[in-house]
């Protein structure tokens, strides 16, 4: 101790103390600061948000406002979540080409990478449903029969019994779900795009949604079997009856007329 | 004696096969300007005058019937050989059931060939000579009429129905009364509904069960813009009377921003913007659950009746007679939604005594 106290007035003492204090501060910072990997993730995420913000400013802000707060031409996007952006933009519904009863599906304008950036930006505005993992919407893991029951009690009133779609009010319609990507079906149930009600996980669990996707994958894709042949749009007995009474009976009448119109006589007059 | 001369048909080499000359014109006075011209001369078919053509027709008909036999055998073979779950791709039908397709094709062919064979037979081989059948008066001759009336009078006198009035009157009475037996049986068209239409399984304290998960609902489960189908607790799809009861008790729950609810009573009957309505359309009872979450309209798929769920489910459009009944709900001590009682009006379609 004596040695230490003897040198406390040394001209370099202040410098040593300063160095020790700096080392302690740096060490403490290194110990408590977030890990380096998280640091790198954050920068990539913020980069995506920044890229998404630029895309948003060009393509979306005229209707949805400069900060996604919404306006007279478009709803607020705060809290809609990445799943909503992925659904609306990847199915081509957004950006809207022209105002109308509802936004129709069309070829997507943005690439998936750009959509992910837009989604990252919108997700940064407020908490909302994220884009689901592929496992969550894998139709192979769903129960087709149970999905059919759930579809009939929750979805069929608008989308018809095998997802053929149907009319709503004032030019709106529930679209046909033919060949729709499982991911987009899942996101639509989760977020409730446009006039479709949402089915949050609290009332329709992940497994329920997966079952519904499995049902649609079974009955309404280009690979679905139609055991009876012509499905006639799958619209049910009205369409089938119309076909039978007009095309079917019409063909029978035409054949009868054709038989009667042809003469069997040897001398054609 | 015919009204006009029929020239001998000229059929060239086949002329020797012609049947005898027919006389089928009617006899008419020469000065009648509207004379019945009679039937036109009969035209012969090739098969009537050419035996080789007739043979060809015979073979065609026989071929059609033979194809029908083979198709029927094919039908039976398909039924035996093709598994019921075999799916095959057939252009332009797509992926179809192999069994359905094969059965339909073979049975269709079998029936079509019988029909086509019969038509071809009738058109080419059966006699096609027109045979007129003259009309004759429907009225019976006076002798027959007199005979029938005489027999009737004789029978009436022998039965003594005119003389013994007691027998006649009691017989008429018996015949008049016997239909009452059938009328009385109509009482069994029932049972009468009594007040069944006015009450449902909902009662004060009933938990609200989500139809998808079969779990009781809590307010935080139901987000703004969502749609949930629900039923009262204590019901199972395996119950004997499930379909009778669910047809009255089925409800849907939606959540609106409290500011969007226009009807004060409706808001008070809900819970923090959660509204619980009967989903049975008040027109003829279809489930009116086509819910548009932005307009808060619920449609019925059958006749497009439209209800405004933000305004007490008022009818906006369509044949429905009155608003969807709303169920009063609250939250119990455990945090679950529950009914505050039954509907205060009968849910579903109108009926005479509904008021």
Interface probe, candidates B90, B212, B279, chain A, greatest A C-beta count within 10 A? B212
- Which residues on chain B are in Cβ contact (under 8 Å) with A202? 220-223
As a whole number, mean pLDDT of residues A102-109 equals 91
From the list A196, A203, A267, the residue facing B293 with the nearest CB is A196
Q: What is the pLDDT of residue B11?
A: 45
Query: Does residue B27 surpass a pLDDT of 50?
Result: yes
Q: What is the pLDDT of residue A245?
A: 95
Residue A216 pLDDT level (bands cut at 50, 70, 90):
very high
As a whole number, mean pLDDT of residues A238-245 equals 91
Sort A81 into a burial class: Cβ within 10 Å, 0-12 / 13-18 / 19+: buried
Q: Which of A145-154, B39-48, B211-220, B329-338 has the lowest mean pLDDT?
A: B39-48
Percent of chain B with pLDDT over 90: 72
Q: What is the pLDDT of residue B15?
A: 47
Interface probe, candidates A128, A202, A228, A257, chain B, greatest B C-beta count within 10 A? A202
What letter does residue B97 receive in the DSSP assignment? E
> What structural domains does chain A harbor?
39-123 (1.10.760.10), 134-230 (1.10.760.10)
Size of interface A-B (CB pairs under 8 A): 116
CB A194 within 8 A of CB A173: no
Q: Which of A210-219, B16-25, B83-92, B211-220 has the lowest mean pLDDT?
A: B16-25
**Of the ranges A57-61, A133-137, B274-278, which is most confident?**
B274-278
Q: Is the peptide bond before B92 cis (omega within 30 degrees of 0)?
A: yes
Q: Where are the alpha helices (DSSP H) in A60-180?
A: 61-64, 81-90, 112-123, 144-154, 156-159
From the list B213, B228, B229, the residue facing A205 with the nearest CB is B213
CA distance B51 to A121: 90
Interface probe, candidates A188, A223, A227, A231, chain B, greatest B C-beta count within 10 A? A227
Per-residue pLDDT tens over the stretch B334-344? 999 999 999 99
CA distance B289 to B231: 14
Is residue A258 less than 8 Å (CB to CB) from chain B?
no
CB A60 within 8 A of CB A154: no
CA distance B312 to B263: 6
Q: How, if at all, do strands B337-339 and B87-90 pair?
A: unpaired
As a whole number, mean pLDDT of residues B211-236 equals 93
Could B287 and A265 be called an inter-chain contact, meaning their C-beta atoms sit closer than 8 Å?
no
CB B337 within 8 A of CB B206: no
Nearest-CA distance A228 → chain B (Å): 6
Q: Which of A225-234, B74-83, B264-273, B340-349 has the lowest mean pLDDT?
A: A225-234
Q: Which residues contact B93 (CB under 8 A, 6 or more apart)?
A: A226, A229, A230, B101
Identify the CA nearest to A167 among candidates A158, A155, A154: A158
The secondary element (H helix, E strand) that includes residue B140 is none
Q: What is the pLDDT of residue B354?
A: 82
Q: Which CATH number fits domain B199-354: 2.102.10.10, 3.40.50.300, 3.40.1280.10, 3.40.50.1100?
A: 2.102.10.10
Nearest-CA distance A193 → chain B (Å): 9
- Which residues on chain A are in Cβ contact (under 8 Å) with B223? 198, 200, 202
From the list A157, A226, A227, the residue facing B301 with the nearest CB is A157
Q: Which of A38-42, A56-60, A182-186, B158-162 has the lowest mean pLDDT?
A: A38-42
- Which residues on chain B are in Cβ contact (under 8 Å) with A192? 225-226, 293
Place of tokens 């900060």: A67
Q: What is the pLDDT of residue B1?
A: 38
Q: Which two tokens stand for residue B184?
A: 């009385």
Q: Which residues contact B18 (CB under 8 A, 6 or more apart)?
A: B9, B11, B44, B49
> Residue A24: which region, alpha, beta or left (left: phi > 0; alpha: psi -120 to 50)?
alpha
Query: CB pairs under 8 A, 24+ apart, for B116-120?
Result: B116/B64, B117/B61, B117/B62, B117/B64, B117/B65, B117/B68, B119/A259, B120/B57, B120/B60, B120/B61, B120/B64
Could A203 and B254 be called an inter-chain contact, meaning their C-beta atoms sit closer than 8 Å?
no
- Which residues on chain B are in Cβ contact (under 8 Å) with A194? 294
Say what the ipTM of the complex is: 0.75
Task: Please give the residue that has the higher pLDDT: either A173 or B17.
Answer: A173
Q: What is the pLDDT of residue B102?
A: 95
Q: What is the pLDDT of residue A262?
A: 86
Average pLDDT along chain B: 89
Q: How many CA atoms lie within 13 A of A67 on its CB side?
A: 3
Enter the pTM of the model: 0.74
As a whole number, mean pLDDT of residues B69-78 equals 98
Q: Which two tokens stand for residue B204?
A: 């004060």
Per-residue pLDDT tens over the stretch A169-212? 888 999 999 999 999 999 999 999 999 999 999 999 999 999 99
Nearest-CA distance A269 → chain B (Å): 10
As a whole number, mean pLDDT of residues B206-227 equals 94
Q: What is the pLDDT of residue A167?
A: 87
Place of tokens 């007329």: A257
């Amino acid at each position: 101790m004596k040695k230490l106290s003897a040198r406390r007035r040394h001209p370099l003492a202040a410098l040593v103390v300063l160095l020790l204090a700096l080392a302690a501060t740096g060490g403490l910072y290194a110990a408590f600061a977030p890990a380096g990997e998280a640091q790198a993730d954050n920068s990539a995420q913020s980069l995506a948000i920044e890229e998404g913000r630029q895309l948003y400013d060009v393509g979306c802000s005229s209707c949805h406002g400069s900060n996604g707060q919404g306006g007279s031409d478009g709803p607020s996007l705060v809290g809609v979540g990445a799943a909503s952006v992925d659904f609306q933009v990847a199915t081509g519904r957004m950006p809207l080409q022209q105002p109308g009863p509802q936004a129709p599906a069309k070829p997507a304008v943005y690439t998936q990478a750009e959509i992910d950036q837009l989604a990252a930006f919108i997700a940064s505005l407020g908490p909302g449903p994220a884009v689901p993992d592929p496992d969550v919407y894998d139709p192979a893991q769903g129960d087709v029969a149970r999905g059919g029951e759930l579809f009939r009690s929750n979805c069929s009133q608008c989308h018809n019994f095998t997802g053929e779609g149907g009319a709503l009010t004032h030019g709106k319609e529930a679209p046909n779900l033919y060949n729709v990507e499982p991911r987009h079906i899942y996101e639509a149930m989760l977020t409730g795009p446009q006039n479709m009600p949402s089915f949050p996980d609290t009332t329709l669990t992940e497994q329920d949604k997966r079952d519904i996707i499995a049902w649609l994958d079974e009955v309404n894709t280009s690979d679905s079997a139609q055991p009876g042949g012509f499905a006639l749009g799958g619209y049910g007995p009205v369409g089938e009856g119309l076909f039978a009474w007009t095309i079917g009976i019409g063909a029978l009448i035409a054949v009868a007329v054709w038989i009667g119109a042809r003469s069997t006589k040897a001398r054609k007059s | 004696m015919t009204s006009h001369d029929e020239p001998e048909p000229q059929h060239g080499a086949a002329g020797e096969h012609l049947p005898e000359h027919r006389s089928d014109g009617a006899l008419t006075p020469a000065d009648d300007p509207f004379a019945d011209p009679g039937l036109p001369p009969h035209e012969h078919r090739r098969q009537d005058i050419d035996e080789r053509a007739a043979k060809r027709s015979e073979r065609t008909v026989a071929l059609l019937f033979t194809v029908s036999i083979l198709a029927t055998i094919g039908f039976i073979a398909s039924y035996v050989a093709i598994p019921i779950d075999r799916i095959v791709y057939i252009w332009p039908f797509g992926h179809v059931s192999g069994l359905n397709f094969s059965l339909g094709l073979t049975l269709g062919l079998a029936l079509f060939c019988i029909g086509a064979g019969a038509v071809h037979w009738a058109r080419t081989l059966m006699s096609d000579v027109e045979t007129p059948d003259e009309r004759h008066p429907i009225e019976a001759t006076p002798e027959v009429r007199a005979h029938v009336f005489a027999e009737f009078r004789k029978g009436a006198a022998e039965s003594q129905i005119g003389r013994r009035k007691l027998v006649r009157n009691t017989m008429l009475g018996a015949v008049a009364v016997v239909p009452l037996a059938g009328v009385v049986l109509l009482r069994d068209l029932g049972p009468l509904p009594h007040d069944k239409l006015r009450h449902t399984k909902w009662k004060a304290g009933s938990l609200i069960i989500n139809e998808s998960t079969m779990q009781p609902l809590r307010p935080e489960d139901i987000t703004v813009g969502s749609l949930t189908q629900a039923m009262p607790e204590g019901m199972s799809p395996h119950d004997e009377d499930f379909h009778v009861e669910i047809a009255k008790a089925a409800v849907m729950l939606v959540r609106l921003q409290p500011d969007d609810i226009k009807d004060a009573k409706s808001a008070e009957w809900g819970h923090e913007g959660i509204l619980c309505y009967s989903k049975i359309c008040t027109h003829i009872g279809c489930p009116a659950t086509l819910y548009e979450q932005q307009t808060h309209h619920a449609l019925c798929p059958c006749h497009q009746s439209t209800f405004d769920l933000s305004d007490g489910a008022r009818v906006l459009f369509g044949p429905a007679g009155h608003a969807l009944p709303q169920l009063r709900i609250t939250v119990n001590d455990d945090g679950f939604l529950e009914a505050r009682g039954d509907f205060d009006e009968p849910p579903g379609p109108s009926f005479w005594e509904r008021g």
